[in-house]
Amino acid sequence: MSRVVRRRWISDFSAPSHAGNRSCEFEAYIPDMLVDRRITLDGDVAADVADAEAAIVRLNTEATALVDTQALARILLRAEAVASSRIEGLEIGARRLLHAEVVRGMHEAAPDVTAAEVLNNIDAMMFVVESVSGGDPITVDLLLDVHRRLLAGTQLEKHGGVVRNQQNWIGGNSYNPCSAAFVPPPPENVSGLLQDLCAFSSTDDLPAVAQAAIAHAQFETIHPFVESNGRTGRALIHLVLRRRGLAAHVLPPVSLILATWARDYIDGLTQFRYVGTPTSKPALAGLNTLVGRFAGSCTRAVSDARAFEKRAAEIEQGWRGRVGRIRANSATDLLLRALVGAPVVTTNSAAELIGRSFVQTSEAITRLVEAEVLRQVNVGRRNRAFEAPDIIDAFAALERQLASPEGDTL
Q: Locate the domains of the chain by residue range.
A: 3-307, 312-398
pLDDT over 80 (residue 237):
yes
Alpha-carbon Rg for the chain, nearest whole angstrom, is: 23
Q: CA end-to-end span of the chain, whole Å? A: 29
pLDDT tens, residue by residue, 143-158: 999 999 999 988 889 9
- Report how far residue 351's alpha carbon sits from residue 358's, in angstroms, rounded to the nearest whole number: 6
Host H or E run for residue 311: helix 281-323
State which amino acid sits at residue 326. Answer: I
Q: Which of 45-59, 255-269, 293-307 has the lowest mean pLDDT?
A: 255-269
Q: Which fold has domain 312-398?
A: Arc Repressor Mutant, subunit A (1.10.10)
* SS3 (DSSP) at 134: coil
- Report how far residue 294's alpha carbon sits from residue 260's, in angstroms, rounded to the nearest whole number: 12
Global pTM reads 0.90
pLDDT tens, residue by residue, 270-280: 999 999 999 99
DSSP 109: P
Rounded (5°) CA angle 137-42-199 = 15
pLDDT tens, residue by residue, 349-393: 999 999 999 999 999 999 999 999 999 998 866 678 999 999 999
Q: Which class is 3-307 in CATH?
A: mainly alpha
Strands (E), 218-334: none
Pairing of strands 24-30, 3-9: antiparallel
Distances (CA, A) of 139 to 35, 165, 202: 14, 19, 8
pLDDT at 253: 87
Half-sphere exposure for 51 (CA within 13 Å, toward CB)? 19
pLDDT over 60 (residue 238):
yes
- Report how far residue 30's alpha carbon sits from residue 263's, in angstroms, rounded to the nearest whole number: 23
Distances (CA, A) of 351 to 71, 103, 137, 271, 381: 15, 16, 36, 50, 21
pLDDT at 318: 96
- Report how far residue 80's alpha carbon sits from residue 252's, in angstroms, rounded to the nearest whole number: 8
What length does the chain have?
A: 410
Exposure b/e, 156-186, CB count within 10 A at least 16 = b: eeebbbebbeebbbeebeebbbbebebbbbe
* SS3 (DSSP) at 242: helix
